Amino acid sequence: MTDVDVDEILRTVEDPELGTDVVSLGVVSDVTVEDDTAEVSLAHGAPHAPVVAELRSRIEGAFEEHGIDVRFSTQHDDADGVSGQPLPGVENVIAVASGKGGVGKSTVAVNLAASMSRRGARVGILDADVYGPNIPRMMNARERPAVTDDEQLVPVDRHGMSVMSMEFLTEGGGPVIWRGPMVDKVLTQLLDDVAWGDLDYLVVDLPPGTGDTQLTLLQRVPVAGAVVVTTPQAVAVDDADRGMRMFTEYDTTVLGIVENMSGFVCPDCGSEHDIFNSGGGRALAERFELPFLGSIPLTSEIRTRGDDGRPVALDDTTETSRAFHALAGAVMDNVSLVHRRTQAGE
């Protein structure tokens, strides 16, 4: 190879969002060159995020100008906080929350997880909604989990994802009437006593509101960030506002706002109807200076495929599935942004 300064090559590569070179940001943790091939180790924190592909492309381009091929590897940081592993084997915990019920939070959580898995990520989903666990039906996961020799629960495998739910730990279909200490105990078991294996992302479907489950999660696990779900309706937006303030109090990054049920397209006439008003989610994001992650339309296929246990985001054949894929890409990019800012000491 030609006599080049590897550090100088990398300093010509700017982060697409932060505008600083990747060396100064700490995104490139190690690089070695042998036989005209550079092996570059990246500490981006969010496997399979679209922004990672852009980072790799820019680095490849910089080295190609000097006749050097690039091979990438990813650094797994064991430090405390968002850069480390919040649970054994789990790189990122993403909380999906809403200020009130009925906004489609579980639907968003399931399809977010499915879309990330479809991108190639190793994904788990934890149904932490003790009072209304819907994930087992929406994932067609009804069997009870196995138990290892050391008494850890083994998540149910469904659609290539690891699934665990409060419902797996309760008997029958009666109402769950638990006070705070019991909720804390069961959620702690689901966090500490589950053999999740190696996951890039664990999506946690929280119950609506700002109760004991949310506080237990935020107090016990470093959460990479929260996705807040609302409909455009003013009442839902007001409740989402209160939910976001809870995450702020616990120094948890809000990755952005999702506006669910944002519009209904009539299958007969093709016209769009704003059944729950419009623009509320985007306005909320602007008020808090947070990313607006996208709008999810109100369609019958979301319901039918959710009821059948086949999340719509498992494919990309419809406008609805593509909306979820765009959402997942935005969430993963924002997780990476949080990591890269942490690496840079921001």
The binding site for ATP comprises 99-106
The residue ranking higher by pLDDT, 9 or 86, is: 9
Least confident of 26-35, 60-69, 73-82, 277-286: 73-82
Collapsing DSSP to helix, strand or coil, 19 comes out as coil
pLDDT of 269: 64
Q: What DSSP state is assigned to residue 159?
A: T
Q: Which domains does the chain have, with CATH numbers?
A: 6-74 (3.30.300.130), 84-336 (3.40.50.300)
Binding site, by residue number, is: 99-106
Cβ within 8 Å of residue 252, ≥6 positions away: 95, 218, 223, 225, 226
Task: Say whether pLDDT at 179 is over 70.
Answer: no
Q: Please report how many Cα atoms fall inside a 13 Å half-sphere around the Cα of residue 24, on the Cβ side.
A: 11
Contact (CB, 8 A) for 115 and 325: yes
pLDDT single digits (tens) 123-178: 999 998 877 788 999 999 988 888 998 889 999 999 999 999 878 877 655 545 55
pLDDT in tens, 48-97: 999 999 999 999 999 999 999 999 987 654 433 444 567 889 999 999 99
Distance, in Å, from the CA atom of 285 to the CA atom of 258, rounded to the nearest integer, reads 9
Q: Which residues have C-beta within 8 Å of that of residue 321, sequence separation ≥ 6?
A: 115, 312, 313, 314, 315
Assign 265 a pLDDT band (cuts: 50, 70, 90). Answer: low
Confidence of residue 111 (pLDDT cuts 50, 70, 90): very high
Euclidean distance between CA atoms 325 and 296, whole angstroms:
10
- Are the CB atoms for 100 and 239 separated by under 8 Å? yes
